[in-house]
């Protein structure tokens, strides 16, 4: 990206930050056509101008809540036209209701258990909305430490893997970890961009891989390969959201939250299942 293009994108970002969100107004201000602005902006940031504006509002909303503002004041400060818009555009991306986010997740109950799987010990955690975490490690202590780090203020309720409150989730995860196809309900907590990446990840056929660059291209953001990699690293639901299927352009495995040996093992297992082994 040349300096002139970069400056115009920065100008558009500044205008969005000051409250200008109309694509027509933005394009006129930077001297580009709306279509060209849309294209360049998405290549540079991984988001359209409208999505960027939404993320800024959500960021301001979250910041206000963290600073102690009540929900009503927070949505006013962040530029939402009504409280309903907060729930339509904000709460879905927070992964929880605004009041719960303000408390850092306090008040949310997460049921969890550690079970033996085809890939070793697996922690399965679920809220009433679905599976919120699947982690893999050699020890139960390491698994619990990861869950506590991810959800420090939630109520963590340990249960046996056969208990009704989590038995279905454990069964779904066990099938996935053994390489079987299964339908699962997950509670994905992340930004709009992370959600986009995770949704595309779940369309990659079992046993196949895509490079970070290919995934960025599929998202219509060819210059966002690094942002895609960061979104993959932020995935906390192992195997169900298959970030193990994303590799580097040269064919090497790249990174993996739960370790490269495990990533390689999962891929080999998936390919063996597809070959009828």
One domain for residues 137 and 205? no
Asked if residue 124 belongs to a domain, the reply is yes
Output the 3-class SS for 5-42: HHHHHHHHHHHHHCCCCCHHHHHHHHCCCHHHHHHHHH
pLDDT > 70? residue 249: yes
Lowest mean pLDDT segment, chosen from 1-10, 76-85, 167-176, 187-196? 76-85
pLDDT > 90? residue 245: yes
Lowest mean pLDDT segment, chosen from 5-9, 187-191, 250-254? 187-191
One domain for residues 57 and 32? no
Lowest mean pLDDT segment, chosen from 80-94, 126-140, 176-190, 212-226? 80-94
Q: Which domain holds residue 82?
A: 48-92
Lowest mean pLDDT segment, chosen from 95-104, 228-237, 241-250, 254-263? 95-104
Name the pLDDT band for 160 (thresholds 50, 70, 90).
confident
One domain for residues 114 and 166? yes
One domain for residues 30 and 57? no
State how many domains the chain has. Answer: 4
One domain for residues 24 and 61? no
Asked if residue 98 belongs to a domain, the reply is no
Considering the candidates 40, 132, 243, 273, report the single residue annotated as catalytic: 243
Q: What is the pLDDT of residue 86?
A: 39
The whole-angstrom distance between residue 225's C-alpha and the CA centroid of its chain comes to 15
Structure tokens given for 1: 């990206």
Q: Residue 209 maps to which CATH number?
A: 1.10.10.10
pLDDT > 60? residue 207: yes
Asked if residue 101 belongs to a domain, the reply is no
Q: What is the pLDDT of residue 103?
A: 57
Q: What is the rounded CA–CA span in Å between residue 22 and residue 48?
A: 12
Asked if residue 186 belongs to a domain, the reply is no
Q: What is the pLDDT of residue 130?
A: 78
Q: What is the pLDDT of residue 64?
A: 62
Say what the pTM is: 0.58
Where a domain ends, among 123, 146, 177?
A: 177
132 annotated active-site: no
Query: Over the stretch 48-88, which tens digit does the pLDDT of each residue have?
Result: 888 788 777 766 666 665 566 554 555 455 554 444 343 33
């Amino acid at each position: 990206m040349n300096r002139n293009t970069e400056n115009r994108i920065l100008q558009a970002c500044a205008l969005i930050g000051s409250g200008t969100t109309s694509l027509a107004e933005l394009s006129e201000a930077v001297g580009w056509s709306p279509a060209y602005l849309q294209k360049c902006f998405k290549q540079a940031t991984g988001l359209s101008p409208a999505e960027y504006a939404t993320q800024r509002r959500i960021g301001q909303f979250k910041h206000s809540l963290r600073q102690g503002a009540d929900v009503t004041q927070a949505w006013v400060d962040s530029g939402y036209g009504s409280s309903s818009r907060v729930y339509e555009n904000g709460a879905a991306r927070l992964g929880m209701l605004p009041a719960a986010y303000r408390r850092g997740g306090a008040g949310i109950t997460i049921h969890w258990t550690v079970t033996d799987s085809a890939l070793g010990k697996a922690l399965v955690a679920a809220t009433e909305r679905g599976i919120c975490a699947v982690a893999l490690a050699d020890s139960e202590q390491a698994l619990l430490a990861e869950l506590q780090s991810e959800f420090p203020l939630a109520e963590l309720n340990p249960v046996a893997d056969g208990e009704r409150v989590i038995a279905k989730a454990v069964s779904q995860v066990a099938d996935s970890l053994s390489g079987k196809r299964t339908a699962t309900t997950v509670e994905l907590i992340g930004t709009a961009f992370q959600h986009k990446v995770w949704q595309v990840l779940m369309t990659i056929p079992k046993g196949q891989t895509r490079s970070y660059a290919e995934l960025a291209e599929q998202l219509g953001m060819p210059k966002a390969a690094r942002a895609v990699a960061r979104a993959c690293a932020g995935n906390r639901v192992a195997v169900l959201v298959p970030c193990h299927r994303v590799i580097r352009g040269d064919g090497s495995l790249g990174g993996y939250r739960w370790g490269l040996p495990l990533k390689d093992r999962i891929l080999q297992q998936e390919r063996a299942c597809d070959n009828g082994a």
